[in-house]
Every structure is written in structure tokens, then in C-alpha cells.
Amino acid sequence: MSRIGIVGSINTDLVSYVDKMPEAGETVSGTSFKITNGGKGANVAVAAARLNGSSKLFGCVGCDIFSESAIKNLEKENVDITCVEKIKDEYCGTAQIIVTKKTNSIVVCEGANARLTPEKIYSMEEELAKLDIIATQLEIPIKSAEAVSEICRKRNIAFLFNPSPVKKVPEKIYKNADYILVNEIEIQYMEGYDSSNPLNILEKYSGRLILTKGKEGVYFYDKKIKHIPAIDLKPVDTTGAGDTFTGALMVSLSNGKSLEESIIFANTAAGLKTLKQGAQTGMPTLKEVNSYFRKL
């Protein structure tokens, strides 16, 4: 089994479901509320584990009740948490999420995630070196993401980078990345992006840059710009779809599939996630993804 590592955040999601996204200064009535497990790091780790990947998470939690719940859930989902550190006098990262049938908005508070320092990353280098592919995002300090990228280059480990949430990113991280996964907002912050020709940047990062555009599907460059359409369905909750895509992409790539095959697999898994509510609870299993392909 391929060995997949995720260096990233562990959060508790406070999710409000609404019919209409509130505008600035507006109060709207919610239809329901849930407390669920989330965080981009934990989400990707769970997505990979549900798709039968050997998923190991590197991160930090606090000593509060949300942290205890997050750890129990990761264990239940068969994620290896031996490199998740509990930080005294800290709280679990939180995400306040507002969800409509078509979209979502998220406010993240770092909590213990901010304590995943570059020093901690370098102290775990020997554990990271045992992995086949590693991913990180930006719900941890940017310097820590940079440290991950440097270890991957030094140890010749495939490195997948998702610059989310959007921040100014050192070009070094992009150069170290074997795969860069962005949505249509994140790609606008990359050097070389041209709003008049938004897909041209794909050629600059040929075979490395993957652009997800929701219901429009996925774009990447392989000798030419290629487009993988989104699967046809009616979404219920898009929260966690991007993280599902990341986890699924890592599983497929680490199993030796081509980039195009892996994107098709990840695109399908992300689409199936939107049929269920909850960032992690809605993520599909490998059986569900394979069942979808058999029905085509």
C-alpha cells in the first residue's frame, strides 16, 4: 500500500446551513446547525484513508473538548496520528462555515495549528522521509509549508501543494512542488496569471498545475490544455469537496496511475462528496467511487 502523508490543520467545523448567503451587515435565519470535524489537513487525511490510502497526518491539537473529539474521529477513520502533537493551553483550530445548496463561505481560527512550526516539521523529517507523497496547505504557518517542500525535495518525495486559504506564497514552494492544486480564485495569486487568458498559466506549469472549477470541471496541461468535465449531479453540500479531490489525487498518483487518470478519479470522488453533508462525514469510500465508475 502506498504511504501518504499530510502536513496540515486539524479543526472543528461549526456549520450553519442557510437558504441564502448573508451579505455584509445582513442577518439571515439558518435552517440547521452542526458541529463536525474538519481542517484541511485532517480532511485530506480522512479522504485518503476512506479511499484505502495509508494516510498519516502531521499536525497539532489543543487540550480542549474539540481537540479530543477530533483525535477520536481521526482514529475511527483509520488515520495514523502518531505525529499529531497535543499542545498544552491551546484550543483546537475552528472553522465557522455557512453553507447554501450551491456554495459555502468559511472563517478559520488557527488555534493549535499555528504551533506547527518549521522546527517541529524538521524534527519529524525521518518520519516524513518514509512516505511516498506528501501534501500541505496554508492553514499552517507558511514557513512550515516551506519546510515541508524543502524536505520533500531533499528526500525525493512527491510534493503536492494547495495554496489555500489564499496568502502570499514564496515562489520557492511552487518550484519545489510536483503538483500544485488550485481553484479559480487561488490561481489568480500565482505569478504569471493573466486574467485575459486565465488558462495560459497551465502551460507554464505543464504537468504540475491542476485547476478545479467546481461544476465546470478540471483543467490541466499535458502537451495541450485538457479539460475533465464535472460529473453530472445535484450538490447538497460542497464543503470538503476540494480536500476530497486532494486526497483522492494523492491515492491515485501514489498507486502509479497517470496524472489524467488520477484527475478523473479525484474529480469523481469530489463530485460524490457533494451529495452528502459534512466535510468529512460526506466523503466517499473507495467502494462508492468504484460503484459510480461501474455504472457508467
Catalytic residue among 13, 80, 237, 243: 243
Catalytic annotation on 243? yes
Coil, strand or helix at 176: helix
Residues 6+ apart with CB under 8 A from 159: 133, 134, 135, 148, 149, 152, 153, 176, 177, 178, 179
Whether the CB-CB separation of 129 and 48 falls below 8 Å is answered with no
Nearest Cα residue to 162 out of 43, 243, 57, 279: 243
Cell digits for 21? 448567503
Classify the phi-psi angles of 156: left when phi > 0, otherwise alpha if psi is within -120 to 50, otherwise beta. Answer: left
Cα 166 → chain centroid: 13
Q: Which residues are catalytically annotated?
A: 243
